[in-house]
Structure 1
Amino acid sequence: MEYEFTIVVPLFNEEPNLLRVEQELENYLKTAPVKTCILFVEDGSTDGSLQLVQEISRRNNDFKYISFDRNYGLSSAIKAGFDHAETSLIGYIDSDLQTDPADFDLLLEHIGEFDLVTGVRTNRKDSFIKNLSSVVANVIRRSFTHDGMDDTGCPLKVVKADYAKRIPMFKGLHRFLPAMILLQNGKIKQVPVRHYPRIAGKAKFHLLNRLVGPLVDCFAYLWMRKNYINYKLAEKHE
């Protein structure tokens, strides 16, 4: 049976988490409503993450990986995952497992009608400063994009591959995935999902890059929105 759904897992220096990631995703694959595979995107880690990802992929037929020659950042890792997935549906989850793979089922319920379905983290288990900076960043982003999304930073999403593969690359992309689908005249939806504290590894974002980064990236998005090329074929002869 061919795969229908690829779960992209970007990672950078997440060695302490990866065995737990393997176990949780193995458990999800047993109950997933569609035939699912895992694609790790190893983002130039300096710990033992790459070696562990290689081992995991060798012992699990449903697990694949690609690796970068150096660290390029989360947006590049997500985009590479989109580009290399070979299924009609693509999901995204962070390797810190602060969201639950089982909640993909909640998103998949709606993906037929919508082109991107994103989670909204409920009862977030982060620090006060992290939660506050996230709220502020989302307010800034919504004021520019008018995408209506409350939590674009939620690392649990499902998107149709036709739309994902047309998203142009730029830094900060991961904050604008719903807006980039809207630029393609796609339909988006948000669904509440569970959230858990990080129990291993270190967070890669801090107060400064949660606030300054989104503000700068909003201006990049405005340029993109103004210059984005969107077309539909009326006819094709082959």
Structure 2
Amino acid sequence: MEFEFTIVVPIYNEEDNLLRLEKEMSHYLEMATKKTKVLLVNDGSKDKSQQLIEEICARNTAFSYILFQENRGLSAAIKAGFDAVETPLVGYIDSDLQTAPADFNLLLEKIGEYDLVTGVRANRKDKFVKNMSSKIANGIRRAFTHDGMDDTGCPLKVIKTDYAKRIPMFKGLHRFLPAMILLQNGKVIQIPVQHFPRIAGVAKFGVWNRLLGPLMDCFAYLWMKKKYINYTIAKRG
């Protein structure tokens, strides 16, 4: 049976989470509703992440990896994953496992009708400042994009690969994935998913990243929306 679904996992200095990631993802592969493989994208980690990644991939035939020469950021890691995927569906989850791989099955139930299905973190387990800054940033983004999404920062998504590959990704645009699918006249929906506290490693985004960064990215999105090329071929001869 050919693979139908690839889960992209961006990784940057997550050596303390990777063995747990291997365990949880391996468990999910046994219960996945579609034949699934995992693509680990190492965003130029400086710790022992790459050594662990290679060991994990050697033990698990459904795991593979990409290693960046240098750190290029989360959006670049996601974009590289999208570019490399060959399955009809692509998913995305963070390596800190604050969301549950098992919840991919909830998203996959809806992907036939929709082109992007994103999680909404129910009962978030983050600290107050992180929750509030994220809520404000989502409100700002929603006012600019009118995408109707409550939590685009949720690191649990499933996208039809042909839509994902057409996303003109730039730094920070990982927050705008639903909006970029809407630009392609695609359909999006959000589904409540579980959320857990980070138990290892260090968060890569602070208040600055969650507030000022997204505000600046909103203007970049508006420029892209104005310039975006979208067409449908009616006939070939």
Tell me the TM-score range normalised by the shorter chain.
over 0.9
Cα offset, 1:16, TM superposition: 0.2
Secondary structure of the residue aligned to 1:176 is helix
- Runs of 4 or more, structure 1, over 6 Å off, are none
Which residue in 2 is equivalent to 1:120? 120
Which residue in 2 is equivalent to 1:182? 182
Question: Partner amino acid for 2:74?
Answer: L
Cα offset, 1:173, TM superposition: 1.2
- Which residues of structure 2 form unaligned runs of 5+? none
Residue deviations 1:138-160, cap 9 Å, x none? 00000000000000000000000
Which residue in 1 is equivalent to 2:165? 165
Residue deviations 1:46-96, cap 9 Å, x none? 000011101100110000000100000000000100000110000000000
Secondary structure of the residue aligned to 2:38 is strand
Aligned mates of 1:45, 1:127 — CA distance in 2:
26
Aligned mates of 2:116, 2:186 — CA distance in 1:
8
Which residue in 2 is equivalent to 1:204? 204
Cα offset, 1:234, TM superposition: 1.5
Aligned mates of 2:232, 2:139 — CA distance in 1:
33
Residue deviations 1:13-48, cap 9 Å, x none? 000000000000000000101100000000000000
Aligned residue-pair number: 237
Note the aligned Cα RMSD (angstroms). Answer: 0.5
Which residue in 2 is equivalent to 1:220? 220
Aligned mates of 1:3, 1:66 — CA distance in 2:
18
Aligned mates of 2:185, 2:169 — CA distance in 1:
18
Aligned mates of 1:147, 1:97 — CA distance in 2:
26
Secondary structure of the residue aligned to 1:107 is helix
Aligned mates of 1:103, 1:166 — CA distance in 2:
25
Do structure 1's residue 193 and structure 2's residue 193 form an aligned pair? yes
Question: Partner amino acid for 1:181?
Answer: I
Which residue in 1 is equivalent to 2:150? 150
Question: Partner amino acid for 2:183?
Answer: L
Question: Partner amino acid for 1:58?
Answer: A
Cα offset, 1:235, TM superposition: 1.3
Do structure 1's residue 40 and structure 2's residue 48 form an aligned pair? no
Secondary structure of the residue aligned to 1:9 is strand
TM-score of the superposed pair, with normalisation by structure 2: 0.99
Aligned mates of 2:64, 2:209 — CA distance in 1:
30
